[in-house]
Amino acid sequence: MELHEFQAKSLLSRYAIACPDGRVVVTADEAETAARDCGARALFVKAQVHAGDRAPAGGVIATASAAEARVATAQLLGRKLVTAQTGRRGRMVKRVLVEAGVAAVREFYVAMRVDALSGGLALLAGAGGTGIEARAAASPSAIETVPFSLAGARNAGDTTKLCEGLGLSGDAANRFRAVIDNIHRAFVDNDASLIEINPLALTGSGDFVALDAKLVLDDNALFRHPELAALRDDDDIDEVELEAQRHQINFVQMDGDIGVVVNGAGLGLATLDMIRTAGGSPANFMDIRTTAKSLDIAHGIGLVLDKPQIKVLLVNVFGGGMQPCDTIIEGLGIAFRRKGRRLPVVLRVTGNNEALARLRLANFDMPKIECSDMWQAVERAVAVARGRL
Enumerate the active-site residues.
109, 196
Beta strand segments in 37-182, E? 43-47, 60-63, 80-81, 91-92, 96-100, 106-114, 121-127, 144-148
Query: Of the candidates 77, 68, 67, 63, which has an alpha carbon nearest to the alpha carbon of residue 24?
Result: 77
Closest by CA to 281, choosing from 301, 305, 300, 253, is 253
Which segments of the chain does DSSP mark as H helices, in order? 5-13, 28-38, 66-76, 132-138, 158-165, 170-189, 226-229, 239-246, 265-277, 294-305, 325-339, 354-362, 374-385
Give the C-alpha distances (Å, rounded to integers) separating 264 from 24, 116, 195, 209: 38, 18, 26, 41
- In this structure, how many other beta carbons lie within 10 angstroms of the beta carbon of residue 322? 12
DSSP secondary structure of 303-338: HHHT-TT--EEEEEEEE-SSS-HHHHHHHHHHHHHH
With beta carbons less than 8 A apart as the criterion, state whether 132 and 109 touch.
Answer: yes
Distance from C-alpha of 136 to C-alpha of 140, rounded to nearest angstrom = 5
Q: Interior CA angle at 109 toward 107 and 112, to 5°?
A: 150
Give just the sign of the alpha carbon dihedral 237, 238, 239, 244: negative
Cβ proximity of 97 and 22 under 8 Å: yes
Q: How far is CA 81 from CA 23, 237, 306, in A?
A: 20, 15, 26
150: closest CA among 117, 187, 178, 180? 187
